[in-house]
Amino acid sequence: MYKIVLIIFAATSSLPCFSQNKWFEYSDTLNKPRLISVVSGASAITIGTMLTLNEYWYKDFPRSPLHSFDDSKEWEGMDKVGHGFTSYYCGVLGYNALKWSGVSENKALLHGAWGFMYLAGIEFLDGYSAQWGFSWADMAANTAGSAFFIGQQLLWKEQRIMPKFSYQSTLHTNLRPELLGNGGVQEVLKNYNGQTYWLSTNIHSFLKEESKFPKWLSFSLGYGATGMLGGHDNPKLNAKGIVLPQTLQRHKQYYLSLDFDLHRIKTKSELLNGVLKAVSWFKFPLPTVEFSQRGVFFHPVYF
């Protein structure tokens, strides 16, 4: 998950550029210099990160012949949702880059599967590591993420239902900081207990264009899980030999909420429009209803 979300941060950090000035607007015709720069950049990023991961991440773990393993039941499925989320936004980035280059809609959509192909490469690296293995469940999640982006473009020519992400700190990190992170960005990336993934549906996009319903207001469904100190189950001791509480109940959480569709908010500032687009994958903190095995809860503000 650490590697996966870092890819998302790198991808979305470039999104504001598409809105800051006319040079970054989509080209009406094929622009070869732009296309060359996009293909070269994507190739460099893909090859560079694969080589870097292979040299600096996997070299510290024993290698093995290519093999698979079943991790479909780990972390209550949170890591699989993260895979789909990452694959989706890698597809968004690849599609936008090619449209900026003047590539046709159909050809740009083919590269909406860039997230799937990129993550498949990482999956094969996992497959040669004795520590992990090639995960068919990860591949299924990667496929779903790419298909979700491509399917909406084919059906509606736009993204009406957007995956979103939110995070709130939890006490679980104090119990296993070596696994769940020790504060800051590390905690956000590794602590599944605090992560929530959302599907935000833009309501206005399903209504007539003349509708007075706010274009920026969305309805959001969320998924999370808590009580997790390990992948499959909760261990009795952490890395320091400290006894861990055995009263934590691992369970899934479901949410209903509203959301702001920030990339549909247009201002007079091109810079601000770019910023809104770049952060549009974050779920805006708003009143939320939670459903879980513990009952139904209302949160005045939920992150």
> Average pLDDT, stretch 147-174?
94
pLDDT band at 151 (very low <50, low <70, confident <90, very high): very high
For the stretch 263-297, pLDDT in tens is: 898 888 878 887 888 888 999 999 999 999 999 99
The mean of the pLDDT values for the chain is: 86
Does residue 18 surpass a pLDDT of 70?
no
- In angstroms, rounded to a whole number, what is the distance separating the alpha carbons of residues 33 and 292? 53
- DSSP designation for 26: P
In this structure, of 71-75, 163-167, 254-258, the range with the lowest mean pLDDT score is: 71-75
Domain boundaries, the chain: 30-54+72-159, 161-302
Identify the pLDDT of residue 24.
63
Does residue 239 surpass a pLDDT of 90?
no
In this structure, of 21-25, 185-189, 271-275, the range with the lowest mean pLDDT score is: 21-25
Identify the pLDDT of residue 196.
98
170-to-29, 50, 248, 303 alpha-carbon distances in Å: 50, 32, 13, 12
Identify the pLDDT of residue 20.
47
For the stretch 29-57, pLDDT in tens is: 887 888 888 888 888 888 887 787 777 67
pLDDT band at 15 (very low <50, low <70, confident <90, very high): very low
3-state secondary structure 69-91: CCCCCHHHHHHHHHHHHHHHHHH
> Average pLDDT, stretch 65-90?
92
Identify the pLDDT of residue 56.
66
pTM equals 0.88
- DSSP designation for 59: G
> Average pLDDT, stretch 82-103?
89
